[in-house]
Structure 1
Amino acid sequence: MSKSDTQAQLAAAYGRLLNDTGRRPTVRALKAAARVSTDAAAAFLRDIATQDEVPDAPDLTAPLQALWAAAWHVAADTARAEVAEQVDQLTADLVAATADAEQQLQAADTAQTAQHAAEEIAATATRRADELERRVAALDEELAGLRLQIADLQAAERAATTRADRAEAAVDTLQGVLATLKPVKAV
């Protein structure tokens, strides 16, 4: 294995161990993780310990910008989809509420029309009842008048019957008197 490959393996193993444990790895742990000799692991750790400067952090601006942009687009698309879904639901609710309101309005119009028709029928019935009451009152007056006429005619008939009876009695009396006054003829 070349020296650069060994250094790469040691650096990778060192980074993993440092991240996993949070402290500097031992020679034995580094040797096992990198699969190198004890001398190579010890030399690597000595070189790391003697370095005074900390390596510069890598520039992650471009990858983070790309990652941030992608996340932003996903979040925006998700938000748009949720808002569209809410708008669709609210629109459906509005359509349903409008339909219900129109049905209620139509029912109210029908009820109002029926009420007006009932009021008109009641008014017509009241007018007819008033007219019938007037006609009944007029007929009652006419009946009372006819009853008076009948009573007068009955009284007149009784008086005429009485006069006729008296006249007949008078005729009978006069015939009896005439019969007695007539000379009897001899035969």
Structure 2
Amino acid sequence: MLGRALTKAVDHEFFRWFHLVRYEAPRALADGATWHGFRPDGAKFRELVTVNLETDRSGCIADAKLCLDRAFIEHAKDGPFARDITASFLRWILPEPAQREAGGFLQELGYLGPNVVRLKAAPLPDAAAAPTALHRVYLGRDKDAALEIGDVALRLTNLQARDGPRDPQHDWIWIRVVRR
């Protein structure tokens, strides 16, 4: 959806499946760009997930950011849902060539099906012996990693709410895709 009209992007299955709705009115940015904020409408995940989009002056997506609460990613029961929305976001926003380039990271997230339903005895995705730089950030081991693919930049950044040791109860990760 990167480079596509916002109206088409928000009508996509990704928005419907995760019940993403506006949580704030659009805001004008510099150079005619506009910021748009979305969150799940369900109470359980509303405060844990944010999708922020920036459209250019023609209304096409130029920048997309998935923001996840670290406690959500690291939660014993809900962590698979965090992996699911992350993988779904990347498949939704990245063009096909970029998806192939980011394929190692997508594999590391594991495909748990569109609704993360799995048998209790089914194993979790194999943890890579040497995780990719993107996955190391996702796991909270590193601060920042980026992958540039043609005219697309994918960057993962861990943000700490305050100085000192990492605190999953107050920290976030940004997964950002930008058209360069």
TM superposition score normalised by structure 2: 0.14
More helix by share: 1
More strand by share: 2
Q: Which has the higher contact order (CA 8 A, sep 6+)?
A: 2
